[in-house]
Amino acid sequence: MNGTQAQDGSRSTSDWLDANGGVFIAGIGLHPYQFPSDTPYTQLGLTAVRAALEDAGMQWPQVKSAYVGTTSIGMAAGRVLLRHLGSTGLAVTQVENASASGSFAFRQACMEIATGMSDVVLALGVDKHGDGRRAITKDGLERLSDTATIPAVKFAMMARTYLRERGASVDEMAAVAVKNHANAALNPFAQFRKPRTLEQVLASPRVAGDLTVQQCCPRGEGAAAAVLVSGHAIQRLGLDASRCVRVRASVAGSELNERQYGDAATELVRTSAREAFEQAGIAPTELDLLELHDAFSVEELIYSEAIGVCEPGEGAHYLARGDSRIGGRCAINASGGLIGMGHPLGPTGLGQLAEITRQLRGEAEGRQHTQARWGMAHMIGLGSVSVAHILAAAG
């Protein structure tokens, strides 16, 4: 399905990605995610960009525009970083949207390609571990609880509700972390590369409620980049079309008022995913790969149900049957997810897209999901904004 046509004959918004010959990922690159270090952010970002250019078989002067997702570095980080590749006069835009910063940088790049403004655009996510200050703590409002805006507390409460309503156990929730740490152990770009047993996950220090340290994502630093091109430019630029992964959906949104604590984030995921599937013209059950926001283990169970890869209440059973493992029905967080691969914020969403691209090309050595054709990268930012992308293999 390439979009729909309105009754008045005009093109609907669902087919905007088909303009300019379509939007494709030609190259990907990462700097491994790592714990905070003295490595300059310029080194992190340049490593990812150079790898993406090499992967695409392109040169820096061919890039006409860049979008840089970051949260903690400071003003004009993109320009400071990219000038080390050469001052070519390209447009540089910095994007910040919490955990979804890199995902939104990628979405802006897609828009620029689709509108025909540029045929080659860079999307880059880069971050160092910052002070973590959030705008919500500076809104001038008093709160009943000092912990009301702390993510770990919010998701611990959501976990209690989920486990009670679904009749699931703490062990079943912790099994998410076991799977994702195992996947990360196979990923050379992951911050954690050591498999964990269920006993180790449960025995790690408690953070909030039933969530232990190994069920929570680490903060750190890293970078991820993607070079996007238009379909019309693939042949002209001499690119390998068999390695160009197509972007078939790009959807963004923000929360609505919630009736029950935690419902807003879940409904946001559900709505944005549904719109992405409509745009791509596929059903959730057709996904082969799903990278989602698992900053806390319970999120994978909640969101896999909300996205529709399994039925409501089936999240824990889907995992227990092996359906969400690499080689299962739909590999969820084959990269290791935020829990295993890490969550440096700015790069995280682009790292998801890089993982899916690698998988769809059949190049995920050591962790390749068989016959992968469709993948979704879904990201939320502080539970209040969301962005979903669906990618399709070439051919």
Do 106 and 123 contact (CB within 8 A), yes or no? Answer: yes
> Taking residues 373-381, what's their average pLDDT?
97
Do 226 and 27 contact (CB within 8 A), yes or no? Answer: yes
Instruction: Look at residue 255 in the predicted model and tell me its pLDDT.
Output: 87
Q: Which residues touch 293 (CB under 8 Å, ≥6 apart)?
A: 99, 299, 303, 338, 378, 379, 380
Q: Give the span between the Cα atoms of 147 and 22, in whole angstroms.
A: 45
Residue 321 corresponds to which tokens in the numbers above?
């049957």
Residue 258 corresponds to which tokens in the numbers above?
């919630």
Residues 50-101: pLDDT tens digits? 999 999 999 999 999 999 999 999 999 999 999 999 999 999 999 999 999 9
On the question of pLDDT at 27 being above 80, the answer is: yes
Q: Give the span between the Cα atoms of 28 and 347, in whole angstroms.
A: 12
Residues 160-206: pLDDT tens digits? 999 999 999 999 999 999 999 999 999 999 999 999 999 999 999 99
On the question of pLDDT at 7 being above 70, the answer is: no
Residues 275-311: pLDDT tens digits? 999 999 999 999 999 999 999 999 999 999 999 999 9
Helical packing angle, 101-114 and 348-361, nearest 10°: 60
Domain ranges of the chain: 13-130+219-243
> Any idea which architecture 13-130+219-243 has in CATH?
3-Layer(aba) Sandwich (3.40)
204: alpha, beta or left? (left if phi > 0; alpha if psi -120 to 50): beta
CA atoms within 13 A on the CB side of 159: 28
Instruction: Look at residue 10 in the predicted model and tell me its pLDDT.
Output: 37
What does the longest C-alpha to C-alpha distance in the chain come to?
61
Q: How far is residue 62 from each of residues 59, 65, 228, measured CA to CA in Å?
A: 6, 9, 11
DSSP string, 182-235: HHHTT-TT-S--S---HHHHHHSPEEETTEEGGGBPPP-EEEEEEEEEEHHHHH
Instruction: Look at residue 179 in the predicted model and tell me its pLDDT.
Output: 98
DSSP reduced 3-state for 353: helix
Q: Give the span between the Cα atoms of 268 and 185, in whole angstroms.
A: 31
Q: Using the 8-state DSSP alphabet, how is residue 33 labeled?
A: E
DSSP reduced 3-state for 14: helix
How many residues are listed for the chain in this entry?
395
